[in-house]
């Protein structure tokens, strides 16, 4: 009798840290739902690469800033893969470098809607499916936060740092809320990781500029963050909940 494969959703899984997490999870035997916002080509190419390597994956378009998209996405996963076992709340955005006294309300609303509310709504849908009090069989959630929550992002993006601070509090609270229902909730806080997020915030040279301030003198790779996420999802972390694992090269 074959053992049922665990089902994992990675939000923002088409590129960067999410893509490395999806790749590693598929290799570890998860069936992986890969959510993306607009870069269909990247998500589809990743699904093909996973399938060619013998894994199972599915690309799902959906804006994590939209409650309707989130609900539709979870329903698609229910139909395609069955009940969810694991969620990685990875989708996140930055914005152009700005001081707080220059930030518009629209900017703040977008940042908080995607980075905080989106993660909380995805966790809500995951808990409804995983919690033993809802008839589920338990599961694991990893929220992707940032070392920015501790540093504050002054002169660059305090709003982003604050959104990740909210994720840290959310991780502690949700972990305690569902600890008796078979669900573990943890966070990973990357430092500076070499992805396209820096260019999306108008700073393509950010990794090269900032790496000298990292005790290890280099940026992290997406694979190094993915390895931490996969460990927190795994049974090896069975007594770990409410933790925040920094992957920042000592920063
Ligand atoms: P990235 O390379 O820019 O990739 C972001 C991914 O998120 C893409 O797949 C993108 O989809 C998706 N996404 C963006 N907005 C979305 C939305 N509204 N709905 C659904 N998906 C959305 O970013 P990354 O560097 O891998 O960052 C991933 C996470 O790590 C974020 O939460 C970020 O804050 C955190 N982080 C990153 C660093 C770093 O230095 N890179 C450091 C600390 C924390 P498309 O492909 O469709 O555009």
Tokens describing residue 9: 């959703």
Residue 224, pLDDT score:
98
Q: What is the pTM of this model?
A: 0.98
Question: H or E element: which one contains 187?
Answer: strand 183-190
Taking the alpha carbons of 195, 233, 58, 111 in that order, is the dihedral positive or negative?
negative
Calculate how far, in angstroms, residue 191's C-alpha sits from the geometric centre of ligand 1: 14
Q: pLDDT digit of tens for each residue in the chain (251 aa)?
A: 556 799 999 999 999 999 999 999 999 999 999 999 999 999 999 999 999 999 999 999 999 999 999 999 999 999 999 999 999 999 999 999 999 999 999 999 999 999 999 999 999 999 999 999 999 999 999 999 999 999 999 999 999 999 999 999 999 999 999 999 999 999 999 999 999 999 999 999 999 999 999 999 999 999 999 999 999 999 999 999 999 999 999 99
Q: Whose CA is nearest to atom 2 of ligand 1?
A: 16
Q: How many domains in the chain?
A: 1
Ligand 1 pocket member 34 (CB < 6 A): no
Q: Which atom from ligand 1 is nearest to the alpha carbon of 194?
A: 41
Write the CATH number for 58: 3.40.50.720
Domain range for 85:
3-247
Q: Whose CA is nearest to atom 41 of ligand 1?
A: 193
Calculate how far, in angstroms, residue 26's C-alpha sits from the geometric centre of ligand 1: 19
CA-based nearest residue to 235, from 2, 21, 29: 29
Calculate how far, in angstroms, residue 34's C-alpha sits from the geometric centre of ligand 1: 12
Q: Which atom from ligand 1 is nearest to the alpha carbon of 69?
A: 19
Is there a catalytic annotation at residue 157?
no
């Amino acid at each position: 009798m074959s053992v049922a494969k665990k089902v994992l959703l990675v939000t923002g899984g088409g590129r960067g840290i999410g893509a490395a997490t999806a790749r590693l999870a598929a290799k570890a035997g998860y069936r992986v739902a890969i959510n993306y916002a607009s870069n269909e080509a990247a998500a589809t190419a990743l699904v093909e690469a996973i399938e060619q390597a013998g894994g199972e994956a599915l690309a799902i378009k959906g804006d994590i800033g939209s409650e309707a998209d989130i609900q539709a996405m979870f329903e698609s996963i229910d139909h395609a893969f069955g009940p969810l076992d694991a969620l990685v709340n990875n989708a996140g955005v930055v914005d152009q470098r700005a001081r707080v006294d220059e930030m518009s309300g629209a900017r703040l609303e977008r940042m908080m809607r995607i980075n905080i509310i989106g993660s909380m709504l995805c966790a809500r849908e995951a808990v409804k499916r995983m919690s033993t009090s809802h008839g589920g069989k338990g599961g694991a959630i990893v929220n992707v936060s940032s070392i920015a929550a501790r540093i504050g992002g002054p002169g660059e993006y305090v709003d982003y740092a604050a959104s990740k601070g909210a994720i840290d509090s959310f991780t502690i609270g949700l972990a305690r809320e569902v600890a008796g229902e078979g669900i573990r909730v943890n966070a990973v806080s990357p430092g500076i990781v070499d992805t396209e997020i820096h260019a999306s915030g108008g700073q393509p040279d950010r990794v090269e500029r900032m790496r000298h301030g990292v005790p290890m003198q280099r940026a992290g790779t997406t694979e190094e963050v993915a390895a931490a996420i996969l460990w927190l999802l795994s049974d090896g972390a069975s007594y770990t909940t409410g933790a925040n694992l920094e992957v920042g090269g000592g920063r």
